[in-house]
Amino acid sequence: MLLFSEYFGINKDQNDLNFVNINLESDNKLFVDPRLIDINPLFKNYSNSISLFWCSLLETRKSKSFKKSEYLLKGLKEPKETMLGYGNGRNGKSIAEILRNKLIYSINSNENFINGLTKSLSDLEFFIKDISSDRLSDMTTKIVYEDLILFTQEQCVRYNITMFYSLQEYFDFNNFKWINKRVLLPHYQGKPIVLIPKQIVNSESKSNRNLSIFYRYAIKMFVLFDEDINKEIEGTGKDGKILAKDIKERFPLTKDLIMKWNIKYPTLLIDFQSNYFSSYINCLSDSEIVEIVCRKKHDAA
DNA sequence: TTAGGCGTACAGCTTCGTAC
DNA sequence: GTACGAAGCTGTACGCCTAA
């Protein structure tokens, strides 16, 4: 294991660094979480960029501009330079290559998007199959890539790290275009590195539990009180009371189901995010980040 | 054929409800 | 008030599908 700080001669621990002190020799199972960006005022710029990008994507649906949708999504390739997520560097699959058509189809046909029941990019993971923490992280990273490059350059200046020019693609919000530009970045084995602020990353387990939490909330706060649905179910509780487990058995968790419930209960997602989910959105501690980055040491052994 | 990535099942822990 | 069982929550491991 070779940490970024070790390679570049920074004599500091994760607690003293503003960025994720990545392991340069393998993947770091950390994910950029757009919800952490939204709640942290330090990253207002990032949050604005994500909102703007998301609104533009929805706008292409209204104007039926499929080519523009394709254009916006084509730049959301896996950012290998961050070395976060699954399998960076070898067989990483980009959102642009695999899911572009599915995303465009969903945005144009899914009632949750058509009727404005989804408010942000992060909601994609609830309603579109094959979109989970990793791809959401990739998309978010690419949308705010210019800011991340600037952040990396600031850190390099602070710690006196030599940077080299490399060609990087990012979204230019002034002209609303993907552009390729030569930018200065630190290099490891000839490859550029982009640093990620430590306050916006989450762990694999925390990122992947969101759908389950939403499912449970929907049952507890909406489905259990839905007389139409309850007519179909035989309760196993005392005096035939319908329990959450009865609902779960009758309606196993799928993204299609979540999509249907969100249409059936139009306030479900808003209630969930404003009243309940906010308590689950916490950034990782320094020790948790270190544990995840160092865990790879054991996996690789 | 291999490995990444997602979905899901399950184990273990915590919380809640009921009976005494 | 306490003990015990049921239900709920969270983290993790595994299986399946798909792309390289």
Instruction: Report d(CA A61, CA A176) in Å as an integer.
Output: 17
The answer to whether residue A301 sits within a structural domain is no
Between CA A91 and C1' C19 the distance (Å) reads 8
Between CA A57 and C1' B15 the distance (Å) reads 43
Task: State which nucleotides on strand C lie below 7 Å from a protein beta carbon.
Answer: 7-13, 18-20
Residue with tokens 């000839």: A190
**Domain total in chain A:** 1
Instruction: Report d(CA A61, CA A118) in Å as an integer.
Output: 14
Residue type, A256: D
The answer to whether residue A232 sits within a structural domain is no
Q: Using an 8 Å Cβ cutoff, are A68 and A236 in contact?
A: no
Displacement of CA A71 from its chain's centroid (Å): 20
- Please report the pLDDT score of residue A188 as a whole number: 87
Per the structure, the residues numbered 104 to 163 in protein chain A that have their CB within 7 angstroms of any atom of strand B are: 125, 129-135
Q: Is the CB of A89 under 7 A from strand C?
A: no
Residue-wise pLDDT tens for chain A (301 aa)?
A: 788 999 999 999 888 999 988 888 766 777 888 888 888 889 999 999 988 988 888 887 777 777 787 788 777 777 778 877 765 433 344 444 556 666 776 777 777 677 776 777 777 777 776 677 777 777 888 889 999 999 999 999 999 999 999 888 888 999 888 888 999 999 988 888 899 898 888 876 666 677 777 777 777 777 777 777 777 776 666 666 677 767 776 777 777 777 778 888 888 887 777 766 766 677 777 777 877 777 643 343 3
The answer to whether residue A217 sits within a structural domain is no
Tell me the pLDDT tens digit for each residue of A141-154.
888 999 999 999 99
Do strands A187-188 and A191-192 pair parallel, antiparallel, or not at all (unpaired)?
antiparallel
The answer to whether residue A234 sits within a structural domain is no
Domain span holding position A180? 4-202+283-294
The answer to whether residue A237 sits within a structural domain is no
Torsion of Cα atoms, A293 then A295 then A300 then A301, to 10°: 130
The answer to whether residue A238 sits within a structural domain is no
The answer to whether residue A251 sits within a structural domain is no
- Please report the pLDDT score of residue A153 as a whole number: 96
Tell me the pLDDT tens digit for each residue of A190-236.
888 899 898 888 876 666 677 777 777 777 777 777 777 777 776 66
The answer to whether residue A85 sits within a structural domain is yes
